[in-house]
Chain A
Amino acid sequence: MTRIFIPQDVAALAVGADAVARAIAAQAGDGVTIMRTGSRGLFWLEPLVEVETPAGRVAYGPVDPADVPGLLAAGMLSGAAHPLCLGLTEQIPWLARQNRLTFARCGIIDPLSAADYRSHGGFKGLERALSLGPTETVEEVVRSGLRGRGGAGFPTGIKWRTVAAAPADRRYIICNADEGDSGTFADRMMMEGDPLALIEGMVIAGFAVGATKGYVYSRSEYPHANRTFTRALDVARQAGLLGPSVLDSDVSFDIELRVGAGAYVCGEETALLESLEGKRGVVRAKPPLPAIKGLFGRPTVVNNLLSLATIPTILANGAQAYADYGMGRSRGTMPIQIAGNVKFGGLFETAFGITLGELITDIGGGTLTGHPVKAAQCGGPLGAYFPPSLFDTAYDYEAFTARGGLIGHGGIVVFDDSVDLSAQARFAMEFCAIESCGKCTPCRIGSTRGTEVIDRIRAGVEVEANIALVEDLCQTMKFGSLCALGGFTPYPVLSALHHFPEDFRRGACPVAAE
């Protein structure tokens, strides 16, 4: 029986993976089983078809249904050569260069098989945590140096320590899977490709801090991920990973999936809590911290999906093995997502410290359109636009901050020379206006006024005076907003203004152009 692996990840489906699977099933005859997996994350090669051979999995891609007869005739089922053949998957340089810790299994295993999960190292982290006990589990996470992968970069272990120490009748674990940043898709890939790793991470978190209930807050824009994850919860219950006695211990833990409703601001942790409680997704003032008073007023761990999905590997292999990767205070690996106008886009998990230029030029291969790279927005819609002159910046929380940027949730969106940064700055303000929860004035009103002022700049009206006004407004938003939505919208705006001043002064007539 020859095993063939074809991703079911929504990004593979978006470029025709189902049609390829159907064509292979119809034409390959008996003796072939098709297993649907997550994606390896090499999206320019999707649909990527892998065939199991004695030497390992051999990859072909990107495969079109029309290629299938030729592939079969060439001997694809035994891993034979063909123009689309990429050789052994593990040896594709783009994949071989990575350090896949969080995404070790994604694209390899059947996402909904507990047995497959176990045979690829699953459950080991939880088993070790149970033997260490709650306190030592928390300390292990502290020692790993893991910092919040949602963008804030707060040490995960310290947060857990706070929640564990807060007196309470009950505590909660919340997975923030409200992955709204453009250019990011790692949470989605994990939910589709290795959902049991997230579940295991949440169970470990629950055990460590003394919580018995977890919520995953996902997005309505991710229907495929939500379907897969819902099934994964059932698989986990049947496998004893969730339920009243986790892995036959006296630990009880269960998880519920909740789906947002199209509000970007609910990715902010306190707005997320309000939304989970059934209210408008309006930001709460801090303090109190969610770790002290979170969901329904109880101590709550709110961690990004990637942080939680990294916990099993940290526990399984030890904190030091994880901390050995990285640079400075950014320990471990980051699943970086290279997207937008880029030749080789996808998920590139690597140790902190690689430079932005390596990611965009060497790994990303430059733009898809073949034009020069003009800018890269790092860290989502609230992240700065970097010009090529700053591509020597190391991928590291502190190095990015020093350059007026942020790594956020790990997204990089590449633009070619056709982009107009004044239009992107305007979009940043407009997006903030659309998504503002309305609680604080700098964000609610500042974003609308900011859009208007940038419109005037683009129309050539009193350009220098209006640029000064936008800069001033950005200072107000940065320091006066309650949360990162209003507070970080100045990053894309100011970086566009400072690094691409010519885009704000192109052919502008000094008098009104409207």
Chain B
Amino acid sequence: MTPPLPWDARHAADIIDRHLHLEGPTLPILHALQEAFGHIPDDAVPLLADALNLSRAEIHGVVTFYHDFRHEPAGRHIIKVCRAEACQSLGSERAATALLERLGIGWGETTADGTVTVQAVYCLGLCACAPAALIDGDPLGRLDGAKLAAAVEGVRWS
């Protein structure tokens, strides 16, 4: 994964500018900002409000509505574990709970050393090879506790 950049108002303004020709550009801009900075920094909200001629409250409302947008940077590696029914049917919760205990974190949290963030997702469309997860965007199917732990350890120290 490309490491996120430190906050840079001019770079953020460029990103916003590049999307202004779109109809309803808010979500594409937020995705692009998060892609660049790893999260949606508070400083981005007034910039976006100005550019779109909306109130800060409206932008804040959008940012906080969607599960994807982070308010602080994530760990260096992002593990998205599916918690939906198809994965539940083959023991995803057991595997995920074991991983979280091993890392000493809860859902949505980052390990103290900043290496790993574990996020809950509801369906990756890998329901016929469940349970499933995305390890830094790479899909992993038919996992169990051991396979998930090994995959996380594999990226954690790389």
Contacts and interface: CB of A to CB of B under 8 A. Distances in A.
B61 interface: yes
A329 interface: no
Contacts of A340: 85-86, 89-90, 127, 130
Given A261-B30, A261-B69, A411 B127 contact: yes
Contacts of B129: 11, 14-15, 43, 46, 345
A221 B124 contact: yes
A185 B127 contact: yes
B85 A413 contact: yes
A458 interface: no
Contacts of B89: 340-341, 413-416, 419
Given A182-B86, A340-B89, A415-B89, A188 B125 contact: yes
Given A340-B85, A381-B84, A13 B139 contact: yes
B68 A261 contact: yes
B31 A261 contact: yes
B139 A339 contact: no
B67 interface: yes
Interface string B63-76: 00111110000000
A346 interface: yes
Contacts of A11: 125-126, 128-129, 139, 141
Interface stretch (B10-18, B20-28, B96-104, B110-118): B20-28
Contacts of A224: 139
B139 A413 contact: no
Nearest to A279: B62
A488 to B, nearest CB: 14
Given A340-B90, A414-B89, A10 B125 contact: yes
A377 interface: yes
A427 B88 contact: yes
B140 interface: yes
A202 to B, nearest CB: 16
A11 B27 CA distance: 27
Contacts of B87: 182
Contacts of A181: 123
Given A339-B86, A377-B85, A220 B128 contact: no
Contact of B128 (A185, A377, A381, A416): A185
Contacts of A225: 125
B109 to A, nearest CB: 17
A114 interface: no
A264 B122 CA distance: 8
B86 A14 contact: no
Given A414-B89, A427-B88, A261 B66 contact: yes
Nearest to A345: B128
B68 A14 contact: no
Contacts of A431: 122
Contacts of A258: 27-28
Contact of A279 (B26, B82, B88): B26
B139 A14 contact: yes
B52 interface: yes
Interface stretch (A79-87, A237-245, A270-278): A270-278
A281 B65 contact: yes
A502 B52 CA distance: 55
Contacts of B84: 182-183, 381
A306 B98 CA distance: 37
B125 A221 contact: yes
Contact of B123 (A221, A276, A278, A419): A221
A183 B85 contact: yes
B142 interface: yes
B26 A278 contact: yes
Contacts of A184: 123, 125, 127
A448 to B, nearest CB: 17
A221 B65 contact: no
B139 A261 contact: no
A433 to B, nearest CB: 13
A200 B31 CA distance: 28
A500 interface: no
Nearest to A424: B85
Interface string A412-455: 01111001000010010001001101000000000000000000
B125 A381 contact: no
A280 interface: yes
Q: Which of B86, B125, B138 has the most CB of A within 10 A?
A: B125
A372 interface: no
A483 B130 CA distance: 29
Contact of A278 (B27, B68, B90): B27
A400 interface: no
Contacts of A15: 129, 141-142
Contacts of A337: 127-128
A413 B127 contact: yes
17 contacts: A10-B126, A11-B128, A14-B129, A181-B123, A183-B85, A184-B125, A223-B137, A258-B28, A261-B27, A279-B62, A280-B65, A337-B127, A340-B86, A342-B128, A345-B128, A414-B89, A427-B85
Interface of A: 10-11, 13-15, 43-44, 46, 179-185, 187-188, 220-225, 256, 258-264, 275-282, 296, 337-342, 345-347, 368-369, 377, 381, 411, 413-416, 419, 424, 427, 431, 434-435, 437
The 5 closest A-B pairs by CB, nearest first: A278-B26, A14-B141, A182-B84, A345-B128, A261-B66
Given A184-B125, A259-B31, 8 more contacts: A14-B139, A182-B86, A184-B123, A259-B27, A263-B65, A276-B23, A278-B24, A279-B58
